[in-house]
């Protein structure tokens, strides 16, 4: 139960911060989501640092990883998780499988959004 609470708390803080940054920075450019872009890149950097510290010398405990990487970074941006998993695939799989995962994730994600919008339009 403690693990779920750590993920919940981290995710809540990450989501609030993502909303604040995006709300304030996305308004600066009409054709580029600066806040979302920065959140995604910062989230990738943070999850890389957190996982790197954990792998290097167990500097971060399992509970801290749940709070910060799974919770905070997951709430801050799911893109960081996608990027981490893609990096793992690059190391553990073939370039084809990695490209397939990445390409399908982006393409089908965009198609799923389009489908959802279309369904709502038809209702």
Residues flagged as binding site for Na(+): 74, 77
Q: How far apart are CA 4 and CA 63, in angstroms?
A: 10
DSSP state of 78: S
Q: How far apart are CA 82 and CA 45, in angstroms?
A: 13
Q: How far apart are CA 87 and CA 19, in angstroms?
A: 26
The alpha carbon of 53 is separated from its chain's Cα centroid by a whole number of angstroms, namely 18
If one counts every other C-beta atom within 10 angstroms of the C-beta of residue 31, the result is 4
Binding region? 74, 77
């Amino acid at each position: 139960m403690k693990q779920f609470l750590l993920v919940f708390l981290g995710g809540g803080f990450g989501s609030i911060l993502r909303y604040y940054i995006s709300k304030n920075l996305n308004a600066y450019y009409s054709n580029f989501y600066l806040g979302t872009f920065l959140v995604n890149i910062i989230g990738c950097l943070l999850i890389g640092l957190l996982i790197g510290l954990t792998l290097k010398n167990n500097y971060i405990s399992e509970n801290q990883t749940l709070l910060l990487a799974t919770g905070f970074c997951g709430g801050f941006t799911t893109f960081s998780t996608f990027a981490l998993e893609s990096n793992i695939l690059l190391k553990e799989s073939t370039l084809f499988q990695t490209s397939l995962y990445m390409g399908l994730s982006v393409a089908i994600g965009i198609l799923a959004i389009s489908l959802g919008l279309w369904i709502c339009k038809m209702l």
